[in-house]
Structure 1
Amino acid sequence: MVRYRRNRFSGGTYFFTVTLRDRRSDLLVRHVDLLRMSWRSARARIPHDVLAAVVMPDHLHAVLRMHDGADDYSRLWQDIKKGFSRRLGCVGPSPWQSRFWEHTIRNEADLRAHVDYVHFNPVKHGYAASVAEWPFSSFHQYVRDGVLPMDWGAESATVAIPIAGEA
């Protein structure tokens, strides 16, 4: 078995891509309520903040700031995947790919670029003509909080989100 080396540091901020095995599936958006329940349950065990997230039909992207001291995001994704599969009533193989992709956020510019990437992803994949049209995105919270305008993404725009420990 291959042992993956993951970059971890206490209180780190990370970008993730988590994918279903069947890339033609729409399971995640059809059952987004089960995904949300699974994520809430996992969050109670592995503390973290969701800085940005988007759920696509066959994959999701998230920018998370870990608060568990060990930055055990592998356990977090394992809990979310297991919880979703169990709530879905899966018998047999998991609908998820066994691994996930992770990137350590290094500074505010890197954070801004990844949050923008998350929010623009439904447009990039052709699921929406505008960022505001896609319902399964933290973009709508950014609009409610006054951080981004509703028409964000129509032209180049950025958002400043402070990294823990930076002024």
Structure 2
Amino acid sequence: MLDSIMESKLRIRKTQSLRRGRVSVPNARYFVTICVEDRKPVLCSEKNWKAIRDQLESQQREGDLKLHCAVLMPDHLHLVFRLGERLKLGHVIGKFKAKLDIEVLWQKDFYDHMLQADDSEESYGLYLFMNPYRASLVELDAEWEFWKRWREAPFDFEEFLREGEVIPTQWISESEKVKAGIIKRDAW
């Protein structure tokens, strides 16, 4: 009885399940989510965003990854990138967490999804871009300052963005379809 009470009071994370099925394929495209411990909303500051971008770009220069886009949320970071040939996926993310110079405690593991050949990077870019709008952190007529695209060519959706114009509300439902597809594919 005491054991069941203690177990219900203690939050037990099973991060090993995040590693199940994880593969590191050099040059594969990945969608990754890295969360703050206990999902504390402590990330969104200009100082943290600069440090995160600087660390990611440092790892890109070192050949760990080729960045496509990222969005910083209050309690997590989403990335889309191509894995380099030097390190495994877990080592790339571990290096990022270890070398990042901000006062944040990260969850021990991370969520990853390897994009398949027929997965549209455009859809993942839209998903990341729309994340703060879906979470109602910013109005559709405002710009979220913690979003970055590194790839040379803009995403198609960026062509429709005009300064001062409202982001179409249907983009929220379109980005939700990406999330549903990721969850469905990874639930097997």
Q: Which moved more, 1:105-114 or 1:15-24?
A: 105-114
Kindly indicate whether residue 106 of structure 2 is the aligned counterpart of residue 96 of structure 1: yes
Q: For residue 101 of structure 1, report the CA deviation from its aligned partner.
A: 0.4
Match of 1:36 among 38, 44, 53: 53
User: Larger Cα Rg: Structure 1 or Structure 2?
Assistant: 2
The root-mean-square deviation of aligned C-alpha atoms, in Å, is 3.0
Residue 82 of structure 1 is aligned with which of 91, 95, 98? 98
Aligned with 1:27: secondary structure? coil
Contact kept in structure 2, 1:14 and 1:64, CA below 8 Å: yes
What is the CA-CA distance between 1:82 and the residue it aligns to?
1.0
Give the alignment's TM-score, normalised by structure 1.
0.72
SS of residue in 2 equivalent to 1:119: helix
Aligned to 2:125: 115
Aligned to 1:52: 69
Q: Deviations over 1:11-52 (max 9, x none)?
A: 100111110014232234352122122222322334322222
Alignment partner of 1:154 out of 134, 158, 168: 168
CA contact (8 A) 2:68 2:82 kept: yes
What residue in structure 1 maps to residue 23 of structure 2? 7
Q: Deviations over 1:102-150 (max 9, x none)?
A: 01111344433222111110101111112851011126x78x9484222
Give the letter for the 1:51 counterpart. H
How far apart in 2 are the matches of 1:77 and 1:108? Answer: 25
Give the aligned partner of residue 164 of structure 1: none
Query: Identity rate of aligned residues, in percent?
Result: 21
Q: How many residues align?
A: 149
Q: Which amino acid aligns with 2:81?
A: L
Q: Mean alpha-carbon deviation: is it higher for 27-36 or for 113-122?
A: 27-36
Question: What is the correspondence of 1:115-134 to structure 2 with a 5 Å cutoff?
Answer: 115-130=125-140, 133-134=143-144
- 2:43 corresponds in structure 1 to 27
* CA distance 1:104–1:62, shift in 2 (3 Å): same
Partner of 1:138, secondary structure, is strand
